[in-house]
Structure 1
Amino acid sequence: MSCIVPYPATQAKPIEWLRMSKELANFNLTTVDGLFNNQSVQGGWTFILFGYIECPDICPLGLTLLSEVETQLSDTAFGNNVQFVFVAVDLNEQQATEVDKFTQYFSSSLIGVVGKQSQLNTLAKSLGSRYKIVSDGTRYSVSHTPFISIVDPKGQLIGRFKHPQDAPSLVQHFLSYVSVYDKD
């Protein structure tokens, strides 16, 4: 699929749209409600942020931005057709409750996801996200890309953006794109 959205050349594009969508490799992660996999990102638009719950800055800013985007989209025709996902790379598949508590602080509908490192790596690679966990035995930190990925209703990567950004600009650009999005 190829779709080019007109955007004024003098204005920065808040979202980097791919010329061709990219199929995601098969993955199986966990939420408090159960399995989160390829089928979970089909049928609607999905915004995905990788991070960790002890993150002091980038993750909270990204989650706040997603919450603002969610609020603004809720008043549009796409409001019920978008989900927002936080993938916690520092928790294992048994800790879905912890990531859920963390994400609920930002939005009650934000989906917190955990999983085995191999499965997290599979999804991260498909989305072009990177992360590295560094531990000294008692404390840890995670370096990670500051991108939020956008997955289309077919379950394919279609765009991404860096944060922080202005939520109204993101929403406007997203709505411009989806209004001409080729669903075939």
Structure 2
Amino acid sequence: MKPPISFNHLTRRSALACTATWLAAGTVLVGCSPQAPSFKSTDITGASFAQGLKLTDHTGRLRTLADFRGKVVVVFFGFTQCPDVCPTSMTTLAEVKRLMGDQGQHLQVLFITVDPERDTPPLLNAYMANFDPTFLALRPEPQELKAVAESFKIHYNKVEGPTPTSYTMDHSAGKYVFDTSGAVRLFSQYGTEPSVIAGDLLTLLKSMKG
């Protein structure tokens, strides 16, 4: 079985190309102000993608980023039968929340499944409970998944197994961070230490309070 593909491994060249495109288009506003906060994650402030999120969560409620105004939102794509990258990433985010202390209440993690055929709402509910009761799983319908992935510029690919139900999913493994107003701000690569992510989120929260 092929290992899940991380953003780092999968799209390093395309990420550089995207960065060049953002810069050429004048959409990335990094360093435009001496007051701009400094982050260790990739600052993608002003990027035009990752917009218009509207998906049903594992409780059956339709969610948009507007539901989480006042919180920083971390979005991660994965699937419940992922053997290592997904549980590692979710455990990392649970630790990030712990490291944020009292400010952890201002963090919302959203897990978007790239395997809606197998990831039913009850299964997603149980999966989230393994990490933190406040984390939410979002489930696009199979016909919605392509558009959602394209809007976030993430890759996913079904890898057939020995039986029709034993397939796995290759997928991008980075995390997108949105600020308290719902604007995408940061990209955190797979494998980033929890302390680094927590530090960036605390910086982001502080900057939004102005």
Using structure 2 for the length normalisation, give the TM-score: 0.72
Residue identity over aligned pairs, in percent, reads 18
* 1:88 equivalent in structure 2: 113
Residues 173 and 45 of structure 1: is their aligned pair in 2 closer, same or farther, counting only changes over 3 Å?
A: closer
Q: 1:70 aligns with which of 93, 97, 101?
A: 97
Which structure's residues are more often helix, by fraction? 2
Q: What is the SS of the residue equivalent to 1:20?
A: coil
1:156 aligned to 2:180? no
1:117 aligned to 2:142? yes
Q: What is the SS of the residue equivalent to 1:120?
A: helix
Amino acid at match of 1:133: K
Aligned-partner Cα distance in 2 for 1:6–1:28: 31
Report how far residue 150 of structure 1 moved. 0.7
Taking the TM superposition and a 5 Å limit, the aligned residue runs for 1:5-24 are 5=36, 7=38, 14-22=40-48, 24=51
* 1:144 equivalent in structure 2: 171
1:173 aligned to 2:173? no
How many aligned positions are there?
A: 176
Which structure's residues are more often strand, by fraction? 1
Q: 1:129 aligns with which of 143, 154, 169?
A: 154
Amino acid at match of 2:105: N
Give the stretch that moved more between structures: 139-148 or 35-44: 35-44
Q: What whole-Å deviation, never above 9, does each CA across 1:138-173 have from its counterpart, x for those lacking one?
A: 411111111011122232322111122211122113
Amino acid at match of 1:53: T
Aligned-partner Cα distance in 2 for 1:155–1:121: 22
Using structure 1 for the length normalisation, give the TM-score: 0.81
* 2:128 equivalent in structure 1: 103
Amino acid at match of 2:111: F
Amino acid at match of 1:96: P
Report how far residue 89 of structure 1 moved. 1.6
* 1:10 equivalent in structure 2: none
Amino acid at match of 2:43: W
Aligned-partner Cα distance in 2 for 1:167–1:174: 11
Give the stretch that moved more between structures: 93-102 or 135-144: 93-102
Aligned-partner Cα distance in 1 for 2:146–2:181: 21
Amino acid at match of 1:112: A
Give the superposed CA RMSD: 2.6
1:28 aligned to 2:51? no
Report how far residue 123 of structure 1 moved. 2.9
Report how far residue 25 of structure 1 moved. 3.0
Give the stretch that moved more between structures: 127-136 or 50-59: 127-136
Give the stretch that moved more between structures: 96-105 or 163-172: 163-172
Q: Unpaired segments of 5 or more residues in structure 1?
A: 8-12
Q: Unpaired segments of 5 or more residues in structure 2?
A: 1-27
Q: Assess if the C-alpha contact under 8 Å between 1:148 and 1:161 holds in 2.
A: yes
Q: What is the SS of the residue equivalent to 1:48?
A: strand
Report how far residue 37 of structure 1 moved. 2.6
Q: Assess if the C-alpha contact under 8 Å between 1:61 and 1:163 holds in 2.
A: no
Q: Give 4+ residue runs of structure 1 displaced > 6 Å after superposition.
A: none
Q: Assess if the C-alpha contact under 8 Å between 1:41 and 1:151 holds in 2.
A: no
Residues 22 and 82 of structure 1: is their aligned pair in 2 closer, same or farther, counting only changes over 3 Å?
A: farther
